[in-house]
Amino acid sequence: MTHDKSLSLDLILKDLGSFIVSFSGGVDSSFLLHRAKSLNSPKVMAVTLRTPYIPSREISEAVAFAKSHRIDHQIIDMEFPGNIKHNPRERCYLCKNILFTEVVNFARQNGFKYVVDGTNADDLVETRPGLRALNELNIRSPLAEAELTKDDIRELAKDAGLTIWNKPAMACLLTRIPYNTEVTGEILKMIEQAEDLLFEKGYAGARVRVHGDVARIECLPGYVGKILNDPRRQHIINDLKKIGFRYISLDLEGYRSGSMDPERE
């Protein structure tokens, strides 16, 4: 089944012919970019948008991936959009609309027919307001069109020898902040430093959700017990407090997408 889907993906990419891949550096867009590049026939380029709320580590990893696979790659720097400065509920829609409009304009100016992204089949059954913006801008999602799920993509990426096949999902830093809260450069820096610290301590994919002066840590499955029994736990707590948090809490439910959404509480 996965093999049939991958062949369907190849046909879609060849039919597109000329396109920009909106490249975040995550598993989905990395696999999509690698697959398109391997076909040789399509004219393909990667574009990464760098904003104040995208983790620097994600940008660095995107650059390294493109370089290692000899993929034409462009980074576009974007300022913080004023209409999402207070993290409104429609943040994802507004953000996607602004950022992908920039990519669409870049594609037109450089002779590319389409802009594609890494949306997969699983994303279509989740509540993702940003998908509405992609539809309005006619962004194509080849992975979803080929009915490839996240598990399919990880399997194919592993088979292709891509080291990112098991990379944890990452989302923009705004998802760590409650809705209708003013977003400052200081709080974004604190979140990024805290998550980088946890990553360096062996807790890849951990989220640090912010509630005032409280840092609520969400760990991936299997890591909750590990961090509770970690002999470095007090050092981790002290380091997180040095970053600027007063209280450090561990969410016993672990990581779950959209945990800041009120309807999930």
Cα separation, 158 vs 232, whole angstroms = 32
Q: What percent of the chain has pLDDT over 70?
A: 98
Domains (range + CATH), the chain: 2-166 (3.40.50.620), 173-264 (3.30.70)
Tell me, what's the pLDDT at 128?
75
130 vs 91, more confident: 91
Cα separation, 73 vs 66, whole angstroms = 6
Element (H, E) at 35: helix 27-38
7 vs 259, more confident: 7
Tell me, what's the pLDDT at 265?
43
Tell me, what's the pLDDT at 145?
96
Measured from the Cβ of residue 261, the count of other Cβ atoms closer than 10 Å reads 12
Q: Rounded to an integer, what is the distance from CA 49 to the centroid of its chain?
A: 11
Tell me, what's the pLDDT at 185?
94
Mean pLDDT of the chain: 93
CB 153 within 8 Å of CB 115 = no
Which residue has tokens 């089949």?
121
Using the predicted structure, report yes or no on whether residue 263 has a pLDDT greater than 60: no
Which residues neighbour 62 within 8 Å (Cβ) at sequence distance 6 or greater?
23, 24, 25, 30, 46, 48, 73
Which residue has tokens 């705004």?
174
Cα separation, 210 vs 177, whole angstroms = 6
Strand partners, 45: 20
Tell me, what's the pLDDT at 262?
59
Tell me, what's the pLDDT at 219?
94
Q: What is the mean pLDDT of residues 34-60?
A: 93
CB 192 within 8 Å of CB 55 = yes
Q: Residue 48: which pLDDT band, with cuts at 50, 70 and 90?
A: very high
What is each CA distance from 196 to 57, 102, 148, 193, 256, in whole angstroms?
A: 8, 29, 30, 5, 19
What does the pLDDT look like over 72-116, one tens digit per residue? Answer: 999 999 999 999 999 999 999 999 999 999 999 999 999 999 999
Q: Residue 127: which pLDDT band, with cuts at 50, 70 and 90?
A: low
Cα separation, 57 vs 54, whole angstroms = 9
Q: Residue 259: which pLDDT band, with cuts at 50, 70 and 90?
A: confident
What does the pLDDT look like over 192-244, one tens digit per residue? Answer: 999 999 999 999 999 999 999 999 999 998 899 999 999 999 999 999 999 99
In order, the DSSP letters of 154-178 are HHHHHHTT-GGGGPPP---GGGGS-
Which residues neighbour 125 within 8 Å (Cβ) at sequence distance 6 or greater?
none
- Amino acid letter, 224: V
Using the predicted structure, report yes or no on whether residue 129 has a pLDDT greater than 90: no
- Amino acid letter, 184: T
Q: Which of 120, 96, 99, 106 is nearest to 72 (CA)?
A: 106
What does the pLDDT look like over 176-197, one tens digit per residue? Answer: 999 999 999 999 999 999 999 9
3-state secondary structure of 16: helix
Cα separation, 173 vs 131, whole angstroms = 19
